[in-house]
Amino acid sequence: MSTSFDHTVVPLDQLLAEFGEQVVTPDDPRYDEMRAVYPGQFDRRPAVIVRPKDAAQVARVVTIARENGCELAVRGGGHSNAAHGVIDGGLVLDLRDMRELDIDVEGRTAWAQGGMSAGEYTHAVVAHGLVTGFGDTGSVGLGGLTTGGGVGYLVRKHGLTIDDLLAAEVVTADGQILHTDADTHPDLFWAIRGGGGNFGVVTRLKFRLHELESIYGGILILPATAETIEAFVTQAEAAPEELSTIANIMPAPPMPFLAPEHHGSLVIMAMMVFAGPQEDGERVLAPFRAIAAPLADMVQQMPYSGVYPPEDPGFHPVASSLTMFADRIDRQAAETIVKRLTSSTASMAATQLRVLGGAMARVPVDATAFAHRKSRIMVNLAAIYENPQDAPVHDAWVAEFADELRQSDHGAYVNFLADEGEERIRAAYPGATWDRLRAVKTTYDPTNFFHLNQNIPPLP
């Protein structure tokens, strides 16, 4: 059974009567800003946008949409590579006004509304010497990031974001507001830790907080050759769990802290985060600095919030991308990366490497819906370009690049998937994980009302 939707019939009068100025229509001066999402290739025009303030209002919007057969998109931070947070026609449920945060400093927990961004949360809790690990971008919404897993700068020290999720408030397709944790609706709690937005709107999240007064971290730029790429990954795998790295291999942009003669040359631009004191961090980073003479070294002691610098709100890149896992980055794989990056015709081509393991890998594979605990290295490939009509060229480049790099791990990270079809969604949820998620979907959303996501259909 599935729900039928009509893009042309939207209960605008009812929404205006109940939500007033929280409703944004195409003739509203806020409309274009509200419908914009991070990926620049999407220009979708919803019939109406509603900005609720709490779970009760979310439940009401969900109920109105369902009862009227109106298609619903749920927007958190707007970073979905498939632009699932916006739709042509239909109704957008925009969580951006739901950003309340309640910190229990003594109990080391925090309740955050689902529309809050990772950066806002981090800057607030770090004032108390506390942290929760999220992803690599501060403007990403907490709800979408967390329900997909959360792979960031503390992944080796504290695991995925979902490993610090203690409870959640979820609005389901029938308009109920459910509290879920390990003891209450445990099947739903299992599913929202990795299963994405398939099971409802996550309106509040309770996170564990860790003590961390400061980090030794920042950007380290090395020249990129097959030798230095292989050496970097080898050192990242051998480093203690306090160190997490995200290395972007790319032509160097014209950054002010990089000498002009290096602009455009292939570099490893790595974000290094050592969750500990500077003295220990310097010792751990010494082997990386010995790989080659750094072209720029901005690693220093700083608050953890420094990993989320200010972002340009007008940056909306048009890109082809693909996410995958690798067992190793040996010399052959490193040579492939160099060859492919130097052959791209995109305005910017990049390979991102995230060495995993540590705390993330110690959680049992079936403990959450994130099924890639044993994956060793996350690889993200991207080509950023100017003309959307050039998409087929860059899509083919990314696909061929991935085929050349692919090893025995055929998994995918759901938060970085674009609109790539069911086979790729199944790669994010292999084997028994897929079957279990479909069963939970059938319980909480039997008509697939929440389908604008990396969709897990209910059982027939």
3-class DSSP state for residue 249? strand
Distance CA 451, CA 215 (A): 40
Provide the residue ranges of all domains of the chain, joining segments of one domain with +.
12-94, 101-211, 215-416
Considering the entire predicted model, what is its pTM?
Answer: 0.96
Q: What is the pLDDT of residues 114-126, one digit of tens each?
A: 999 999 999 999 9
CA 208 vs. chain centroid, Å, equals 19
Mean pLDDT across the chain, nearest whole number?
97
Any residues with CB less than 8 A from the CB of 208 and at least 6 apart, and which? 108, 109, 132, 164, 165, 166
Q: Does domain 101-211 have CATH number 3.30.465.10?
A: yes
Class of domain 215-416: alpha beta
pLDDT, mean of residues 117-144 = 98
CATH architecture, domain 12-94? 2-Layer Sandwich (3.30)
Distance CA 113, CA 100 (A): 5
pLDDT, mean of residues 220-229 = 98
Residue 368 class from Cβ within 10 Å (0-12 exposed, 13-18 middle, 19+ buried)? buried
Evaluate whether 101 touches 66 at the Cβ level (below 8 Å).
no
Q: DSSP string of 253-288?
A: P--TTS-GGGTTSEEEEEEEEE-S-HHHHHHHHHHH
Q: What is the pLDDT of residues 264-295, one digit of tens each?
A: 999 999 999 999 999 999 999 999 999 999 99
Q: What is the pLDDT of residues 188-222, one digit of tens each?
A: 999 999 999 999 999 999 999 999 999 999 999 99
Question: Is the pLDDT assigned to residue 1 strictly greater than 70?
Answer: no
What residue type is assigned to position 275 of the chain? A
Instruction: Give the containing element (helix H, strand E) for 177.
Output: strand 177-181
Distance CA 5, CA 15 (A): 17
